[in-house]
Structure 1
């Protein structure tokens, strides 16, 4: 595979691709047939940079990892209180604390699961799980992250998955080994394909866009403004 040639051709066809995507909004599978390079992690990041002039993985991970410890503290504080949100967060941190390994990837995974819960958003259709032997049910799925596991574990947070697949419009687009990378590729594809954020997870994705990446960050929802203020006090 000639990656340099692919990159050159994707750059050459960028204007045509944007015109096609923004003006006619064809189905994602048609776009992927036209430009299969968008199934490659490196080309998703390259496309994002063409659109925003921003290096997606570098910018995201610098900001995310800088706030990771504080986010863990904020979410644990909420988990110690009462109510459905607190109970859901407490369950996530119970699973986290039971892990033998607590490295950067463990913390990233925990925070990605905890963030939408803290923001009181519905993750039921977004985080999906299946085993290697089972066929995932992807009918009617607009956007989701599918965790493939090796057994029939029931844990809502998986720290050692087989793969994490990005699902868009019922189809698996790309599979990666870690949740954070899959989440980031999904975010990049949403920009590249001019898609709406997943239904019910607007605050989670706007947190990524406006707080972590600093894109179009002039107006934040009250929940995000409160969270941002808390984070900025401890940078």
Structure 2
């Protein structure tokens, strides 16, 4: 993927393809290792290691916030269409806390990554996907992005997504 980086980056920046279209063209890019690598090529910051190192100290507060955003399974498809991007978690029915059937990322109503190991890893990958697809961060989530950028990534990456 590193050999085709400049070609791929030019395509993303100039043509601004839809997420599903770009995934169809560059399927190998949409794996956790490749998103980490692509983010590093764009920003020179190791995404997942930097993100996870800072996350531990903020986890209790974040968990309580994320639990308030729960939706019922019947409404998943509707909500995927309603929001530009996000992390979804499908909990096992009647399962213990932390028992998930799937954790993934969707962009523009399209599942971009699924079967991610944890919600924390999914959040890191979500940021990576935003950079890989050269997307603007949703204005309604501006403060979430600022928190991730300034606290969890220690002020990196320098690119502004406002």
Same fold by TM-score greater than 0.5: yes
1:215 match? 156
Give the alignment of 1:122-141 within 5 angstroms: 128=71, 130=73, 136-137=77-78, 138-141=80-83
Q: Structure 1 pair 61/216, CA: closer, same or farther in 2 (3 Å)?
A: closer
Deviations 1:49-81 (A, max 9, x none): 00011111111112222xx1xx4xxxxxxxxxx
1:204 match? 144
Q: Structure 1 pair 112/195, CA: closer, same or farther in 2 (3 Å)?
A: farther
Contact 1:128/1:145 (<8 A) preserved: no
Deviations 1:60-104 (A, max 9, x none): 112222xx1xx4xxxxxxxxxxxxxxxxxxxxxxxxxxxxxxxxx
Give the alignment of 1:35-184 within 5 angstroms: 35-65=26-56, 68=57, 71=58, 108=59, 110-114=60-64, 128=71, 130=73, 136-137=77-78, 138-151=80-93, 159-175=98-114, 176-184=116-124
Q: What is the DSSP-based 3-state SS (H/G/I as helix, E as strand, rest coil) of the residue aligned with 1:63?
A: helix
1:16 match? 7
Q: Structure 1 pair 12/52, CA: closer, same or farther in 2 (3 Å)?
A: same
TM-score normalised to structure 1 length = 0.58
1:189 match? 129
The alpha carbon displacement at 1:183 in A equals 0.8
Of structures 1 and 2, the one scoring higher in RCO (CA 8 A, sep 6+) is 2
- Specify every segment of 5 or more residues in structure 1 that has no aligned partner in the other structure, as ranges: 1-9, 72-107, 118-122, 220-235
- Specify every segment of 5 or more residues in structure 2 that has no aligned partner in the other structure, as ranges: none
Which residue of 4, 17, 27 maps to 2:18? 27
Q: Structure 1 pair 216/55, CA: closer, same or farther in 2 (3 Å)?
A: closer
Which of 1 and 2 has greater Rg? Answer: 1
The alignment of Structure 1 onto Structure 2 pairs a total of residues equal to 155
Q: Distance in 1 between matches of 2:76 and 2:143?
A: 31
